[in-house]
């Protein structure tokens, strides 16, 4: 009995459904699709809550997602693109299923986030180790030959950083003495990795996250520690020559991408041009368009326009884009907006998502989709709980 006591203490309070859900998210991030689906199914099987009562916010969420599905299917039907029915239906079913898992495990969601936080730390160490050992020549090769190969391109690492406020929230049950070291550790590894991968977006998101949550951190972190974080950010830029040069330049290569996607929207404004329709349109557009010498034209195969809001408008039409925008507005203006530590983390993550979405994200990658579904589900679950307590 004495030997089993430590194990009992370790597993006490662990919600297996929430942990399995976190492992499922990690599997999706790292590209293990079938393992991710299996763990997601397992998460639903081991839910400890026997019943889930649906309330008005839940029905609104399901109705809006169903309406988006109907519009996208109508768009596919209009273009005779019947092959889009299956992926659209799968994403819809997956989103609703994840919503119910989050609703059932709302009080234990920090355990889910904790699992993904561990993935962030492992990825950071893996990439930093690759730089220190000089095994890789470029940041792209570094990504491709590491355990984070599912990221494909350096900026995808920045998608992890969108959830940095949620990562720090996942440490809420830790003693202050431990958090005083763990949170700076998360930021320092993130800053070094951002510089190693030459990702300006990653650095920007990290700095904004730290600035927004400064008042929280200052309550249990020494000012010297925060000064160390700022110094690490500066040194990460200065001591990485390629990154230092990149930070001083403007990302003008986005201009032709956004120009092409805006033209795409004007051609089919209401129902869009369908899934994965941008690459061919962009190739034809830059061939027929001349740009100033000050603008960099990327002539590689570009699957997305590096702006998820324009991409949604071009692919599925302005109706779906309007619903998506309305959801974002409702997220920030809802009467049920969360307060406290978790509320700040959720809203900060949403702001970072919007910023990253304007210059980088795409729905063709699983991580941005998971972030949207997670944020929406948490907000709706919170609203539902409020309605139930009234």
Neighbours of 17 (CB within 10 A): 21
* 222-236 residue pLDDT tens: 777 777 777 777 777
Alpha-carbon distance of 33 to 261, in angstroms, equals 30
* Residue 74, SS3 per DSSP: helix
Q: What is the pTM of this model?
A: 0.88
Q: Which of 169-183, 196-210, 342-356 has the highest mean pLDDT?
A: 342-356
pLDDT of the residue at 107: 87
Residue 291 reports pLDDT greater than 70: yes
In the chain, where the domains are located: 17-51, 109-249
Residue 25, both tokens = 């998210």
Checking if the pLDDT of 30 tops 50, the result is: yes
Share of the chain above pLDDT 70, in %: 84
Helix (H) or strand (E) holding 90: helix 85-104
Instruction: Give the pLDDT confidence score for residue 386 in this predicted structure.
Output: 79
Q: Over the stretch 254-289, which tens digit does the pLDDT of each residue have?
A: 999 999 999 999 999 999 999 888 999 999 999 999
For residues 159-170, give the mean pLDDT.
Answer: 84
Q: Higher-confidence residue: 29 or 106?
A: 106
Assign 3-state DSSP to the chain and report helix, strand, coil percentages, each to 5: 75, 0, 25
For residue 332, what are its two tokens?
């920030």
CB 169 within 8 A of CB 216: no
pLDDT in tens, 92-151: 999 999 999 999 999 889 899 988 888 777 777 777 776 666 554 454 454 455 545 445
Place of tokens 């720090």: 168
Mean pLDDT of 319-338: 84
Compute the average pLDDT of residues 51-63. 86
Q: Residue 46: its pLDDT value, please?
A: 86
pLDDT at 309 over 90: yes
Q: What is the pLDDT of residues 13-22, one digit of tens each?
A: 688 899 999 9
Q: In Å, how far are 157, 182, 232, 326 from 185, measured between CA atoms?
A: 17, 5, 11, 37
Q: Where are the alpha helices (DSSP H) in 268-365?
A: 278-288, 308-316, 318-333, 340-359
């Amino acid at each position: 009995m004495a030997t089993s006591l430590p194990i009992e203490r370790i597993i006490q309070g662990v919600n297996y459904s929430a942990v399995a859900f976190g492992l499922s998210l990690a599997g999706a991030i790292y590209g293990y699709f079938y393992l991710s689906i299996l763990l997601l199914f397992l998460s639903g099987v081991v839910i400890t809550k026997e019943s889930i009562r649906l309330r008005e916010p839940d029905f609104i969420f399901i109705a809006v997602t169903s309406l988006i599905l109907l519009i996208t299917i109508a768009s596919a039907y209009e273009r005779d693109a019947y092959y889009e029915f299956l992926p659209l239906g799968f994403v819809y079913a997956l989103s609703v299923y994840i919503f119910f898992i989050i609703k059932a495990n709302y009080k234990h969601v920090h355990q889910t986030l904790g699992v993904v936080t561990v993935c962030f730390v492992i990825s950071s160490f893996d990439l930093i180790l690759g730089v220190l050992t000089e095994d890789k020549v470029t940041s792209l090769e570094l990504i491709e030959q590491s355990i984070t190969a599912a990221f494909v391109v350096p900026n995808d690492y920045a998608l992890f950083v969108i959830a940095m406020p949620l990562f720090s929230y996942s440490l809420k049950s830790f003693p202050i003495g431990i958090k005083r070291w763990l949170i700076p550790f998360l930021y320092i590894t993130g800053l070094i990795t951002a510089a190693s991968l030459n990702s300006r977006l990653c650095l920007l998101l990290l700095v904004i996250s730290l600035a927004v949550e400064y008042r929280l951190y200052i309550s249990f972190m020494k000012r010297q520690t925060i000064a160390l974080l700022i110094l690490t950010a500066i040194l990460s830029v200065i001591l990485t020559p390629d990154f230092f040069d990149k930070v001083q330049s403007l990302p003008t290569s986005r201009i032709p991408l956004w120009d092409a996607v805006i033209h795409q929207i004007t051609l089919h404004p209401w129902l869009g041009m369908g899934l994965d329709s941008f690459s061919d349109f962009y190739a034809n557009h830059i061939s027929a368009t001349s740009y100033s010498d000050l603008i960099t034209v990327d002539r590689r195969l570009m699957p997305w326009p590096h702006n998820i809001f324009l991409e949604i408008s071009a692919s599925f039409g302005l109706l779906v884009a309007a619903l998506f925008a309305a959801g974002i507005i409702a997220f920030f203006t809802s009467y049920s907006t969360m307060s406290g530590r978790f509320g700040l983390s959720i809203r900060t993550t949403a702001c970072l998502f919007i910023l990253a979405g304007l210059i980088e994200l795409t729905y063709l990658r699983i991580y941005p989709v998971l972030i949207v579904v997670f944020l929406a589900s948490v907000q709706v679950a919170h609203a539902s709980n409020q309605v139930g307590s009234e």
